[in-house]
Amino acid sequence: MLRDSAHLRALDAQARRLIEVFTHAGYEYVAPTVIQPAGLFLDVVGEGLRARTYVFTDPDGEELCLRPDLTVPTCRLHLARHPDGNVPARYCYSGSAFRYQPTGAGSAHPREFGQAGVECFADVDRERADADVVAIIVAALRDAGLGVFRLRLGDLGLFGALLDALPMPPHWRRRLKQHFWRPEAFRAELARLTSPEALAVHGLPRAFTDRLDPSRREEAQAMVGAYLDQWQIELIGTSTLAEISDRLLAEVADARQTPLAGAHAALIEDYVAVKGPANRAVDALATLANRGSVDLSQALDAFVRRLDLLHSAGVDISEATFSAEFGRNLEYYTGFVFEILVRELGERSPLAGGGRYDGLLADVGAPRAVPAVGSCIHTERLLALLNGRSP
């Protein structure tokens, strides 16, 4: 991407205009630092972004990274001011983020790119905060000159409510939620949980695995070490004895569970397949819940209220779409998610996006979970689009 002086001046002018909309709506302008602790980012951003983060070590041996987004740095800034994280605050920002892009990704996906966005912390009225964030992003895009766009919605809270309503071990729910962002891995894991053969521990004597107790981790680790010594099996690669033991205990725990009922697996598959106009999604999801005899009423009520609040805030939802499998590419999202799409860029290059991430502040250092929602605009894409170019 050509970033000559004229381009940089245009980006700067556009950013000032976006920030003016944000600050006028009550968001405080902040400038989070570019260099961030790598370990923290790699723990919270998820597998997809972890491999695309630029990581380096300073002369003191500290592992650092160039921020791959501005949400986590803004969380750290908020916690530096309010260590408990539970003080309501609204921030806005504009700056560069950095991500490795595969060769040939094109100018729509540069390694250094601009983000202008907002983050809202500790607002306990979640649906209203969700709607407010979407509305301010839409208002900023409109003020910048954007005409036609499409709003795509998802709701990880609904997916979580479905899993919580079905009988399965808690660690299976966590695993399915972790795999949600990778469709192939998600479907493979769902199929595995329904198969007694796939859940069984293979390659080890039944007499040995029957003696392992997942609730007694240290004792089990000693037994695994003794087994390896007995059969003169050396540890090869980077896995430690503790890691090998933990993986084996997880397999043993799975093997002792009753497989997930086929009807429940089918219900999950049918849920993930739901997509279409947002206004009609509620009926489709309610029908699915009734068929499976699960109670999703609270999550569906929140979904309906959010749509009503979006409408009241002036966001046109008549053409908004809902996709149950849409979760964006950052694994810290926990609830409502959205993207703003334009025809010229296609679905792989959203113009803006964001969502709810109620667990992230606790992951970053708060003593407990804090309600949080935010969004950012990809400023280079916006500028190119408004200038009649399609990156």
pLDDT at 348 over 90: no
pLDDT tens-digit series, residues 176-198:
998 888 888 899 999 999 999 99
Cα(82)–Cα(99) distance, rounded to whole angstroms?
Answer: 29
Residue 271, pLDDT above cutoff 90 = yes
pTM assigned to the model: 0.89
Asked if pLDDT for residue 347 goes beyond 70, the answer is: yes
DSSP state of 260: P
**Residue among 152, 84, 140, 92 at smallest CA distance from 118:** 92
Tokens of residue 234, six digits: 């050396």
The span from the CA of 225 to the CA of 218, in Å, is 11
299 neighbors 336 (Cβ within 8 angstroms):
no
Q: Which two tokens stand for residue 219?
A: 């004792």
Q: Measured between alpha carbons, how far is 26 from 123 in angstroms, rounded to an integer? A: 14
Q: What is the CA radius of gyration of the chain?
A: 23
pLDDT the model gives residue 195? 95
Asked whether 124 and 358 are in contact (CB, 8 A), the reply is no
**Interaxial angle between packed helices 297-312 and 126-144, expressed in degrees from 0 to 180 and rounded to the nearest 10:** 30
Kindly give the interhelix angle for 278-291 and 262-272, rounded to the nearest 10 degrees: 180
Q: Is 269 helix (H, G, I), strand (E, B) or coil?
A: helix
pLDDT at residue 170 in the model: 93
Identify the band that residue 284 occupies on the pLDDT scale cut at 50, 70 and 90.
very high
CA atoms within 13 A on the CB side of 95: 20
Question: CA 141 to CA 220: how far, in whole Å?
Answer: 57
Checking phi first, is residue 45 left (phi over 0); if not, alpha (psi -120 to 50) or beta?
alpha
Question: What pLDDT, on the 0 to 100 scale, is given for residue 85?
Answer: 97
Q: Which pLDDT value is given to residue 75?
A: 97
Side chain identity at 285, as an amino acid letter?
L
Reading the block at residue 239, the tokens are 């896995």
Give residue 233's pLDDT: 84
For residue 7, the model assigns a pLDDT of 84
More confidently predicted of 390 and 210? 210
**The pLDDT of residue 105 is above 80:** no
Q: Which residue has the higher pLDDT, 89 or 228?
A: 89
Residue 153 has pLDDT above 60, yes or no: yes
Q: Which residue has the tokens 């983060």?
A: 53
Indicate the SS3 state at residue 184: helix
With b meaning 16 or more CB within 10 Å and e meaning fewer, what string describes 197-214?
A: eebebeeeeeeebeebeb
Domains of the chain: 5-163+274-386 (3.30.930.10), 196-255 (no CATH)
203-251 pLDDT, tens digit per residue, is 889 889 999 998 899 998 999 889 888 888 887 777 789 989 998 999 9
**pLDDT tops 80 at residue 287:** yes
Q: What percent of the chain has pLDDT over 90?
A: 73
User: Residue 244: what residue type?
Assistant: I
pLDDT for 228 equals: 87
